[in-house]
Amino acid sequence: MEPRDVVRLRLRSQMLHGPGAASPEAALQSLLAVQAQEFPYARWSLVQRVGAAAGDAGAVRAGAADLEQAVADGRILRTHILRPTWHFVHRDDLRWLRALSEPRLEQINAATYRRTGIDAAAAARSAEVLGSAVSGGNHLTRDGLAARLHDAGFPAKGLELAYLIMHAEISGVLASGTPVRSPGGALKQTYALFDERVPASPGVTRPEASAELARRYFTSRGPATVKDCADWSGLTMTDVRKGLQLASEAYPEALAETAIDGVVHYYAAGRPGGSDGEAESTSEPRPRIDLIQCYDEYVMGYSATRHYMGGGAPAFPFQGEPMHVVLLDGRMAGSWRHTLFPGRCELDIRLSRAETPGSALAAAVQDAVERYSAFIGLPTIRLESGA
């Protein structure tokens, strides 16, 4: 398999190109978890994979408001899971995914727990305080949780506060609640009781959960390696290999594999352009520009094989440069950011190659601007300084 085939397959597996998902929820269920610490941009990660926004003219286009409503309703939850960092997870997946992840998350966090004085007794007592504070649909912001912890005798500030809350998420006490708007209009995270936001479900064994994670990861992000999946999920490579074996046994037609430079890559069987599917044309009728956030799954879904996208994302901005990623036919070609004003959105898009006015590349950039404008629901212009 050639590098261009890897890029093409990933773009389709991730629903950035080709038919998109029916809704943000469906996109999330395919991807299983989507990194979401930059909430304004993380919304776009899901919405841009929905039908018309991903190039399927027959589907209904979604917008930022649709994603925000799904979060408010609790259909999409935003919580600490996997490595751990903020992720969107569908409510139907969070219970089993949390149980699978918890042992590794606690192991990863152990050093910080010790440094901040969070021992087993403190963690258990704080979780009881937090669970009581949000029970009965009483969704609280971080400040609200801090006040309850302070009343119970915890310092409740800084790193200790962050890790007491995270421990409660990891242990199945807290989940995200309905966001509230700050006086400036920005949405603020709230927390709710896990059992009030996450539906009860039949028990899933750890082997079953490992198999489901492997199946969902490789069918939505392949071609990818065991190392990629282990780094993405926070599980060990041994866990991922076991999950892959079980997934192959349970879903024998789901996954295909190919060796690239001596390393086995797994992907969804039957994808056009793969070794078991019909080859796609190697030429594009016109360039395709995609604006993705720097923590998009097209970036963060890989570690050992991130080089296929080219460039060094994610990266911190330098001297005011935007940090989010411009893709040209699936490869990094620049950076971008948005600035929101009352009644309008401005996009600063900076390409790493020359762009001639009236060219196919310029038209592709304009298409991307229009897709983002439809998402944000505001008239959107591209700053001339980014041209």
Domains of the chain (ranges plus CATH)? 74-197 (1.10.10), 205-268 (1.10.10.10), 289-386 (no CATH)
Do residues 264 and 237 make contact, with C-beta atoms less than 8 angstroms apart? no
pLDDT at 52: 55
Is residue 131 left, alpha or beta, with left meaning phi > 0 and alpha meaning psi from -120 to 50?
alpha
| pLDDT tens column, 58-107 | 444 689 999 999 999 999 999 999 989 999 999 999 999 999 999 999 99
* Confidence (pLDDT) at 62: 81
Each of the 387 residues of the chain gets a pLDDT tens digit; together they read 899 999 999 999 999 998 899 999 999 999 999 999 999 999 999 999 998 555 554 444 689 999 999 999 999 999 999 989 999 999 999 999 999 999 999 999 999 999 999 999 999 999 999 999 999 999 999 999 999 999 999 988 899 999 999 999 999 999 999 999 988 778 899 999 999 999 998 889 999 999 999 999 999 999 999 999 999 999 999 999 999 999 999 998 999 999 999 999 999 998 654 444 444 444 556 899 999 999 999 999 999 999 999 988 887 777 777 899 999 999 999 999 999 999 999 999 999 988 888 899 999 999 999 999 999 999 999 997 544
- Crossing angle (nearest 10°) for helices 226-233 and 237-250: 110
Cα 145 to Cα 142, 171, 258: the distances in Å are: 5, 16, 49
Helix axes 120-134, 158-170, angle to 10 degrees: 80
Q: How many residues does the chain have?
A: 387
pLDDT at position 86 is 96
Phi and psi (nearest 5°) for 116? -100, 5
Beta strands 190-193; 140-141: pairing state = antiparallel
Calpha distance 73→153 (Å, rounded): 33
